[in-house]
Amino acid sequence: MTYLMRKSGFRSDANKDTFASLRVPAFRMLWWSGVFSFMGIQMQFLLRGLLAWDLTEREGALGAVYLMFGLALLIFTPIGGVAADRFNKKSLIAGAQAFLALSALFMGIAVISGNGKFWMLLVSSAVQGAMFGLFGPARISFAAELVGREQLGNAISLTSLSMSTTRIFAPSLAGVLAGVALFGIGGAYLIAAFFSLGSVALAMRLPSSPPVSKQKRNPIKEIIDGVRYVRERPHLKRLVLTSVISIMFGFNYTAFMPALVEGIFGLGDSEVGFMSTASAIGAVVISAIVASRAQGLVARQIMVVCGIGFGIGVIIFGISPSYWVALIVVAVLGACTTGFQTLSSSISMSETDSVHQGRVQSMMQLSWAGFGIAAAPLGALAEVIGLRVTIVLMGIVTLLAVTTYWFTSREEMLGYNSTLS
CA-based nearest residue to 391, from 242, 256, 247, 246? 256
Residues 63-89: pLDDT tens digits? 788 788 878 888 887 787 777 777 778
Residues 241-252: pLDDT tens digits? 888 888 889 888
- Cα angle 212, 216, 220; round to 5: 100
- What are the chain's domains? 17-207+218-420 (1.20.1250.20)
Confidence of residue 329 (pLDDT cuts 50, 70, 90): very high
- Residue range 199-206: mean pLDDT, rounded: 90
CA-based nearest residue to 93, from 253, 179, 204, 230? 204
What interhelical angle do 296-318 and 269-290 show, nearest 10?
Answer: 160
Confidence of residue 9 (pLDDT cuts 50, 70, 90): very low
Number of helical (H) and strand (E) elements in the chain, helices listed first: 15, 0
List C-alpha distances in Å: 331 to 61, 115, 336.
Answer: 26, 36, 9
Confidence of residue 176 (pLDDT cuts 50, 70, 90): confident
Burial class (CB in 10 A: 0-12, 13-18, 19+), 117: exposed
Residues 252-292: pLDDT tens digits? 888 888 888 888 888 877 788 788 778 878 887 877 776 66
Distance CA 234, CA 153 (A): 21
253 DSSP 8-state letter: G
Judge contact between 320 and 240, C-beta under 8 A: no
Single pTM value for the model? 0.69
